[in-house]
Amino acid sequence: MPVNEPESSRGRPTVVRMRDVAAAVGVSVKTVSNVVNATGQVNEATVRAVRVAVEELGYRPNPLARGLNSRTTGTVTLALPGLGYGYCAPLAAAVFDLAEAQGISVVMEPTGGDRERELEVLRNRGGLSDGVLLMPTAITARELTALPSPGPAVLLGSRRVEGPFDGVSSRDTAAAEAAVRLLLDRGASRVVLLGGERKAGGDSAAALRTDGYRRALTAAGRTFSPSLVAETPRSSRDDGHAAIVQLLGTGTPFDAVLALEEPLAHGALHALRRAGRDVPGQVQVVAFGNDEDAEYSWPGLTTVQADVRTMARRALDLLTARVREGTRPRSHVEVPLTIIERESTFSYA
């Protein structure tokens, strides 16, 4: 069975993945995993072909995959509140892609943001997987510390929850501060915080982003105005639309909007268009989000985007180390966010 070069390179790729070996031989990633880890049933001809490809391409097994296979399941659990929550969908896609490339199976576990469901995943009763990637939304540091004999796990997302687990978090407070500075630098004077919280404190994504909003105003010598914080029951387009309609109805003056979730911004843009408000001429709009709709909306929506692929990779790296080494010092990694500027904050004309 001939071995073909991976399509990504004319020569040998810098990092050879299990999927590269699978593509070269013309078999599934699972088959390559079975050969590399000596598991499952694979015919001798395929075993020989895979071993030749491994040698010729210079593939080196991922330590997480090897560690997990030695613990019998070869599976990790990805526990998210839901794919419609924040950047969960692109994060899940990145985790699946990176894990699949190394022959690691991923099981999705929706928690709905429920405290008990999050704790149940971390308890991992029955050993359904060998490690957990969890985006926490409700659990507290005290509850994490009280867990008896927790297994390998990494907490990832906006919240940084102290406790016995490794973590990867996005720098939401700093990103919100940078977004407000951008709006102020472009001439805005009254920035609506759409989906924010009027009371300070807390460690939810909304609370962290609200804190960044406050910091930016303070640094610019501006006064925080509760009337410019539009709290919403959810983060849907309908909620964003309704909040802006209400602000316009009360006559509250504003010339910019920072939406803490992207669907809110799309609802806001619709409300502004219907009210005859020019974007960005009269009102600039920025949103936290990773949705491709931002690029194709009109006007194109300026977004604050988390590097979800880096978050996924670092989380898998930490889980690798935890599975391999067991007891080791707790690690935490911060992943920056990037502002992608489009027409909603400036004009190409």
With both helix axes pointing from N to C terminus, report the angle between 172-185 and 205-219 in degrees, rounded to the nearest 10.
40
DSSP code at position 228: G
Collect all residues with Cβ–Cβ distance below 8 Å to 205 and sequence separation of at least 6.
Answer: 86, 157, 158, 159, 172, 260
Residue 4 — pLDDT band, cuts 50, 70, 90? very low
Tell me if residue 243 falls in helix, strand or coil: helix
Structural domain boundaries of the chain? Answer: 18-61, 71-170+308-335, 172-306
CB contact at 8 A, 267 and 274: no
CB-neighbour burial class of residue 249 (10 A; exposed 0-12, middle 13-18, buried 19+): exposed
Average pLDDT (12-41) is: 77
Residue 66 — pLDDT band, cuts 50, 70, 90? low
Token code pair at residue 119: 């704790």
What tens digit of pLDDT does each residue of 120-144 get?
A: 999 876 567 878 999 999 999 999 9
Tell me if residue 256 falls in helix, strand or coil: strand
pLDDT over 70 percentage in the chain: 89
Q: Is the peptide bond before 329 cis (omega within 30 degrees of 0)?
A: no
Residue 1 — pLDDT band, cuts 50, 70, 90? very low
Closest-CA residue to 99 (of 306, 307, 315, 331): 315
User: 172-306 in CATH: which number?
Assistant: 3.40.50.2300
Collect all residues with Cβ–Cβ distance below 8 Å to 111 and sequence separation of at least 6.
Answer: 79, 80, 81, 82, 117, 118, 121, 134, 137
Q: Give residue 2's pLDDT.
A: 45
The rounded mean pLDDT for the chain is 87
The total number of residues written for the chain in this structure: 349
Q: Give residue 127's pLDDT.
A: 62
Q: How many CB atoms lie within 10 A of CB 14?
A: 7
DSSP code at position 165: S
* pLDDT beyond 50 at 284: yes
* pLDDT beyond 50 at 6: no
pTM: 0.77
Residue 64 — pLDDT band, cuts 50, 70, 90? low
Q: Do domains 71-170+308-335 and 172-306 have the same CATH topology?
A: yes
For the sheet with 153-157, list strands across it: 105-110, 75-80, 131-134, 153-157, 166-170, 332-335
The Cα–Cα gap between 222 and 235 comes to 27
The Cα–Cα gap between 295 and 301 comes to 6
Collect all residues with Cβ–Cβ distance below 8 Å to 195 and sequence separation of at least 6.
Answer: 206, 230, 231, 232, 235, 239, 240, 243, 259, 260, 261, 264
Collect all residues with Cβ–Cβ distance below 8 Å to 32 and sequence separation of at least 6.
Answer: 18, 21, 22, 25, 50, 103
> What's the one-letter identity of residue 222?
R
pLDDT over 90 percentage in the chain: 61
Average pLDDT (321-334) is: 84
Average pLDDT (149-154) is: 86
Which CATH architecture group holds 71-170+308-335? 3-Layer(aba) Sandwich (3.40)
